Amino acid sequence: MIKKINSLLLLVFLCFTVPILAKDYDAAAFGIQGDGKTLNSRTIQAAIDYVNSQGGGRLVFTPGAYVTGTIYLKSNVTLHLEQGASILGSNNPFDYVKDTYVKWTAMIFAIKQENIAVTGRGTINGRGFTTALNLLDYTHRGIYEDDLKYDRTREVNRPQNIIFRECKNVKIIGITLKDPASWNQTYDQCENLYVDSITVDSKSYWNNDGIDVVDCKGVVIKNSYFDAADDAICFKSHDPKAICQDVLVENCVARSSASALKFGTASRGGFKNFVVKNLTVFDTYRSAITFAAVDGGFVENILVDGVRSINTGNVIFLRTGDRPVSNGRVPYMKNITIKNVYAEVPLLKPDAGYSYEGPIEDNPRNISPASIIGLPKAKIENVTLENIEMVYPGAGDPFYAKVGLTAKELDAIPEMPEAYPEFSQFKELPAWGLYIRHANNINLKNVKFVAKAADYRPAIVTDDLNGGLFEKVQFEEKNVGKKEQIFKHNTTNVQVK
C-alpha cells in the first residue's frame, strides 16, 4: 500500500519539476500601485486577464505594499511576489466578493483553472483582524446582514486569503501567508497540488486554520511552517461522493490552538492513501494527530512516520462518530500505522499566551490519554502504534474526578456519537496513557508510556477490543509502587508479550 502511494506521489512531484518557459510581466506596468494605500483590485484583475489572454506567464510584484480586495487567478498565470512585496487585504469588507459558486469570501479565488501558482519570497497579508472587526461593526449597525455566532460573523462571510476550487496543477511555493479574517487557504477538489517552503502565520482572528485541503487528489505539502489559531494542517471532505487521496506531508512544523494534523471534522466522503513524514508539533492545545470519521465517511490506508510533539495537550485521537449529516451512512476507519513518535504532554495549558487560545471550558480536568474510540457499529480496525514514547505529567487524582474500572463505571462512559470530535469531549477517561474502545486488531510494538508523577489510573484501558498484540510495551511511573498498567474490559484475543 505505501509503495503504491509513494509511486503516485512521485508522479505528482515530477509534474511540478518540469520547467515551464513563460514571460514575466511587471505589475507596475499595468498601473498597479505598491504604495500601501491605493485599492488595486481592478488593475490586478486586468493584469491577470491580460497575462491569461497572452497564453500565460508570471505577474511579478516587486517590493511594495499592494492593497486589494477580491481577485480571480486565471489559467497559466503565476503571481510572483519578490522579497519585500506584500499583497495586503483591504480592510473594507465590501471590497470582497462572496462567490456564488463557492459560497465563501476570499481575497484570491481560482475556480476551474489550470496551471496556476503563487510563488516567491513575498507575503500575502489578509490584515484580517481589522477587516473582521469592521464587518462585525457593520453587522451591529445593520449595514451588513449576518446571523452572528459567538458575536462574530460567520466564517463564510469573512475573507480567506486564498480559495482554489476544482483547479488542476497548482503550485504554492516560498510565500508567507498571514492574518486572514477566516480560514487562511483552502484547496477544494483540486488535482495535483504542490505546496513547498511556505510560512503560515494564521492567528489574527477566530477560525484561522493554517491550510485546508478538501477532497483533493495528488497533494504534496513539504518543508513548510504553520502557526494557526485553529487547526494547522487540516484535511476535509465536504462531498459524500468525493475523497481526499494520494497525499504526502513531509518535513513540516505545526503549532495550533486546536489540532496540528487533522482529518475532519467535515468527513462526508473520505481520506485514503496518506503518508506523513517528519512532522514537528509544539505548543498545541488539542491533538498532535486527530483522525475523525464522523459524517458517514472513512479514513483508510494512512502512514504517519516520524513525529516530535512537545508541549501538546494530546498525542493521538482516532474517532468514528455519527453526526446528523451522516444520513444513515456508517463510517469506518482502518489500516492506520503511526510510528517513530516522541511526545510530551504538559500539565498546564499548552497554548497559554497565544492571541487566540483554545477554549478554557475544557479545563480543568485530569489529563486525557491518547485515544482510539470507535462506536459499537463503527469500530476502528487495524491500527499499529510502533516505536513511540509518550511522556505525561501523571498526577491524576481520584478525589478531583474519578472514572473507576468497574463494569458499571466503564459502561457509563458516554458514546457521544453526535458530539464534535475532540479528545476532551469525554472530560474524564479511566487511563492516563491510552484508552481503546470499540476496536478490532490494535497492535502496539515498542511503545513506552512515562508518567512523571503517580496517577490513580492504569496506563492502558481497553473496552470492547477484539484482537491485537501488545509487544514490548513499557511503563515508567514515578512513586507508584506496583500496579497493573493494562486493564482489559470486554476484551478478547489480545496478546501481551
Q: Which amino acid is at 360?
A: I
Higher pLDDT, 494 or 2: 494
Higher pLDDT, 362 or 238: 238
| Predicted pLDDT at 346 | 97
Bridge partners (DSSP) listed for residue 317: 290, 371
Q: Is the pLDDT of residue 1 over 90?
A: no
DSSP states of 3-45: HHHHHHHHHHHHHHHS----EEEEGGGGT---EEEEE-HHHHH
Give the single-character DSSP code of 149. B
Distances in Å between the Cα of 308 and the Cα atoms of 88, 230, 317, 475 are 34, 20, 16, 20
User: Band of the pLDDT at 16, cuts 50, 70, 90?
Assistant: low
CB 226 within 8 A of CB 198: no
What number is the average pLDDT over the span 256-265?
A: 97
Per-residue pLDDT of 403-426, as tens digits, reads: 999 999 999 999 999 999 999 999
Q: Residue 74 in 3-state DSSP?
A: coil
* Residue 358 burial class via C-beta count within 10 angstroms: exposed 0-12, middle 13-18, buried 19 and up: buried
Angle CA 64–70–74, to nearest 5: 90
* Residue 310 burial class via C-beta count within 10 angstroms: exposed 0-12, middle 13-18, buried 19 and up: middle
- Cα–Cα distance measured from residue 135 to residue 439, given in angstroms and rounded to the nearest whole number: 46
Q: For domain 1-230, give the CATH number.
A: 2.160.20.10
Per-residue pLDDT of 360-382, as tens digits, reads: 877 778 999 999 999 999 999 99
| Predicted pLDDT at 216 | 98
User: Band of the pLDDT at 87, cuts 50, 70, 90?
Assistant: very high
| Predicted pLDDT at 7 | 55
- Cα–Cα distance measured from residue 365 to residue 464, given in angstroms and rounded to the nearest whole number: 25
CB 422 within 8 A of CB 256: no
Cell numbers for 337: 500505522
| Predicted pLDDT at 18 | 41
How many Cα atoms within 13 Å fall on the side-chain side of residue 483? 17
Higher pLDDT, 371 or 480: 371
| Predicted pLDDT at 90 | 98
Per the rule left: phi > 0, alpha: psi between -120 and 50, beta: everything else, 242 is beta
CB 135 within 8 A of CB 151: no
Q: Which run of H or E residues covers position 390?
A: strand 380-392
Average pLDDT, the chain: 95
Angle CA 180–181–187, to nearest 5: 60
What number is the average pLDDT over the span 94-117?
A: 98
| Predicted pLDDT at 14 | 47
Of the ranges 17-31, 189-203, 447-461, which one carries the lowest mean pLDDT score?
A: 17-31
DSSP states of 208-246: --SEEEES-EEEEEES-EEEESS-SEEEEE--TT--EEE
| Closest to 202 measured CA to CA, from 222, 175, 227 | 227
Beta-sheet pairing, 105-111 with 97-98: antiparallel
CB 280 within 8 A of CB 416: no
Domain boundaries, the chain: 1-230, 271-352+365-497
Q: What percent of the chain has pLDDT over 70?
A: 96
Backbone angles phi, psi at 393, to 5 degrees: -75, -20
Per-residue pLDDT of 272-297, as tens digits, reads: 999 999 999 999 999 999 999 999 99
Cell 462572496, located at residue: 98
| Predicted pLDDT at 39 | 98
What number is the average pLDDT over the span 267-276?
A: 98
| Predicted pLDDT at 22 | 78
| Predicted pLDDT at 10 | 54
Q: Is the pLDDT of residue 237 over 70?
A: yes
Q: Is the pLDDT of residue 481 over 90?
A: no
What number is the average pLDDT over the span 381-392?
A: 98
Per-residue pLDDT of 215-232, as tens digits, reads: 999 999 999 999 999 999
